[in-house]
Structure formats: C-alpha cells, structure tokens
A and B are shown apart, each in its own frame.
Chain A
Amino acid sequence: NAGVTQTPKFRVLKTGQSMTLLCAQDMNHEYMYWYRQDPGMGLRLIHYSVGEGTTAKGEVPDGYNVSRLKKQNFLLGLESAAPSQTSVYFCASSSYEGYTFGSGTRLTVV
C-alpha cells in the first residue's frame, strides 16, 4: 500500500518557468490537498479538492493552479515560477481517520 506518492522529489526552476507536481493516492480518499511548508510558518494550504472534478482555494492560492481529473490524482501547477515559491510542497489525502501525507517536493526557484 503506497499511500500518497509525490513526484518529483526535487526540482530547480528558473524564474518564469512552469511545472506540474503530481500527487497520487491509492486509498480511495475523496479529499486531497496541496500544502507548502516554509520555515516558521507551518503548513499553509494552497488548494484542495473534495472529490473528482472539484477544486477549491486555500489560504495561499495565488500563482498556483490545480486539477483533479481523476479521483486518485491531484496536480499542482506553477504557471510562471517566482523565487517566492521556493518551498517544500506536500500533498495529502484524508478520510475521517486523518491525513496521509506524501514525502514532499523540494522546489527551488532561482
């Protein structure tokens, strides 16, 4: 049981480049999330989804887009990367029992 899988694990982007982070879960969870984690700021919710075909904005959605075309996948896109988007990104899915997190993507924008 893989749980939540994120790809890639590391990425370096130049300012203005675009990329997509992939999150896949095999637990049949309806809810999925993208967070960013920065030193001293805890986890901040970027976007989330309550089911296939749905997305919603979190606390810090600007500069990001998401899609949930399939229940098991939740994609996070950066259209035009900025240095302020340098962070560690975590995907998670949840049920009533709690959250399961992916192992994270460390993104550096130079």
Chain B
Amino acid sequence: AQSVSQHNHHVILSEAASLELGCNYSYGGTVNLFWYVQYPGQHLQLLLKYFSGDPLVKGIKGFEAEFIKSKFSFNLRKPSVQWSDTAEYFCAVNAPSGTYKYIFGTGTRLKVLA
C-alpha cells in the first residue's frame, strides 16, 4: 500500500533561516506529488504540485520542492522563512491509477520565531 512519511513533526526556526521539510513516499510507479499548507485556524491550501517534467517545482510564497525519483522524496524548501510561514505543512501523493484519492502525510508543524 502507498504511504507518505514526514519525519519532521515539529520544526522551529528563526526568521530568515532556511527551511527544508522532508517527504518520502512508498510507491514504485508514476506519482503526482503535492504540498499543502494549513495556516492556524484555516483549511488546507495547495502550495505546489509536481506531475512531470522539471523535478524542481516552484510554488507560491517563495516555496519550492524537488522531486528525486531515486530517493522517493519530494522535499519542500524555502531559502528564507518569515513569521507568516508559521503553519502546518502536508505532503500528499497520488498514483494516477484512475483515482484522484491522495495519501497524506501526518504533517509538519512549523513555527517561525520573529
């Protein structure tokens, strides 16, 4: 069965620090990959997605993610975080097998100190 692992459950950074959140998935075939963000008290919103092509994907608010097929990873990065990036981040995987049902990781809670 497919699964998604986010090993960092809680991350605390100071403003201007660089961010990298890990995401690993278990599925041997072609996958679509997503990162969602949930700001405090809000619903999940799409940050970025990878379907095919350039493995370095740029999303909103300066976030990017790199798909490394050999490592089954899709790590999220941002060069310089801001206090407003405080949120919970979810990685998700979909294997395009005729279903649009995704598997979500358990989330990484990021706190950025001003």
User: A residues bordering B, Cβ < 8 Å?
Assistant: 30-31, 33, 40-43, 45, 48, 50, 90, 92, 94-99, 101-104
Contacts and interface: CB of A to CB of B under 8 A. Distances in A.
Interface residues of B, number: 21
Contacts of A99: 34, 36, 44, 46, 92, 102
A96 B42 contact: no
A20 to B, nearest CB: 20
Contacts of B92: 99
Q: Could you tell me the dominant secondary structure of chain A's interface residues?
A: strand
Q: Could you tell me the dominant secondary structure of chain B's interface residues?
A: loop
Contact of B44 (A30, A90, A97): A90
A104 to B, nearest CB: 5
Given A42-B107, A101-B44, A102-B43, 20 more contacts: A30-B100, A31-B99, A31-B101, A40-B106, A41-B106, A42-B104, A42-B105, A43-B104, A90-B43, A92-B44, A94-B102, A95-B100, A96-B100, A98-B46, A98-B49, A99-B36, A99-B44, A99-B92, A101-B43, A101-B45
Contacts of A48: 101
Interface string B84-100: 00000010100010011
